[in-house]
Amino acid sequence: MRVVYSPLDAVALAEKNPDKQVVFFAIGFETTAPPNVMSVIQAQRLGLKNYSVLVSHVRVPPAMKAILSSPHNRVQGFLLAGHVNAVMGYHEYPPLLEEFQIPMVVTGFEPLDIVQGILTTVQLLEAGKVEIGNAYSRAVTFEGLKPAQDAIHKVFMECDRTWRGIGEIPMSGWCLRPEFDEFNAEKRFNVGDIHTKESSLCIAGQILQGLKKPHDCPAFGKECTTENPLGATMVSSEGACAAYYKYGR
């Protein structure tokens, strides 16, 4: 197993090692999709027969819809993840705004960006306005990055995806289009039926939906730490459990 800085490094590895199969684990939200699809486009250009991708991509708008549709929903406003919107813009969100009538604010990741995003959301809530604010306008436009979106849609299509701790959300993922089957590791190695097992202790699904806090989890800081994470929200430094573990104990 190799850690690479860019998906194109995995393509270069495949090019240098024609006798080996190179599989790139293509994961993430909309943010990481453009470089991942570019690796497939590049492998196709090079005519590589030993490069494939194992795709586990997820999309934000269907996940938001699933949370807002829950009868237990407590979310009153959304900070939209600015890095996702830098690629996708925020033209996908007005239908959610219409349907669920809660404010949303595109928010960057620097400390001041977060504070600005929270302030804008609170101001919208207090004024009773249902709008999409953009507190990250230095990086995000309504339309987003069209060439990146075109590349994504050339290689990926929407598909159902299972989210750790939540379950399957319809059309919340991206998968390779059939015309790129030769680069699909699931088809090349027939591993599509392998399913992950979730820890029975983990309540990450409830945390992701805003129903519980990380310290409500009996495993928090005991069986589950950033060194030994049991759930998705403890893995990434952006995850709620990891943030509580690092800053909130």
Which of residues 104 and 219 has its CB atom nearest to ligand SF4 in the complex? 219
Please provide the size of the chain in residues.
Answer: 249
Q: How far are the Cα atoms of 61, 164, 222 from residue 170, in angstroms, in the given order?
A: 11, 14, 34
Which of residues 98 and 227 has its CB atom nearest to ligand SF4 in the complex? 227
Q: How many CB atoms lie within 10 A of CB 123?
A: 13
Query: What residue spans of the chain are helical by DSSP H?
Result: 7-16, 33-46, 60-69, 82-88, 94-100, 111-126, 146-155, 185-188, 204-208, 232-235, 240-247
Q: How many residues make contact with ligand SF4 (CB under 6 A)?
A: 17
Which of residues 69 and 236 has its CB atom nearest to ligand SF4 in the complex? 236
Give the x/- contact pattern for ligand SF4 in 181-220, rule: CB under 6 A: ------------------x-xxxx--x------x--x-xx
Question: Restricting to residues 77-116, which ones interact with ligand SF4 according to CB under 6 A?
Answer: none
**Distance in Å, CB of 200 to ligand SF4, minimum:** 10
Q: How many CB atoms lie within 10 A of CB 3?
A: 5
Which of residues 37 and 219 has its CB atom nearest to ligand SF4 in the complex? 219
Q: What is the dihedral of CA 244, 87, 160, 179, to 10 degrees?
A: -140
Which of residues 48 and 234 has its CB atom nearest to ligand SF4 in the complex? 234
Applying CB under 6 A, does 241 fall inside the site for ligand SF4?
yes
Which of residues 138 and 215 has its CB atom nearest to ligand SF4 in the complex? 215
**Distance in Å, CB of 194 to ligand SF4, minimum:** 22
Contact 80, 93 (CB under 8 A): yes
Paired tokens of 202: 């983990």
R_g of the chain, CA atoms, integer Å: 19
Instruction: Name the one range near ligand SF4 by CB under 6 A: 29-37, 134-142, 152-160, 233-241.
Output: 233-241
Binding region for ligand SF4 (CB under 6 A): 199, 201-204, 207, 214, 217, 219-220, 224, 229-231, 233-234, 241
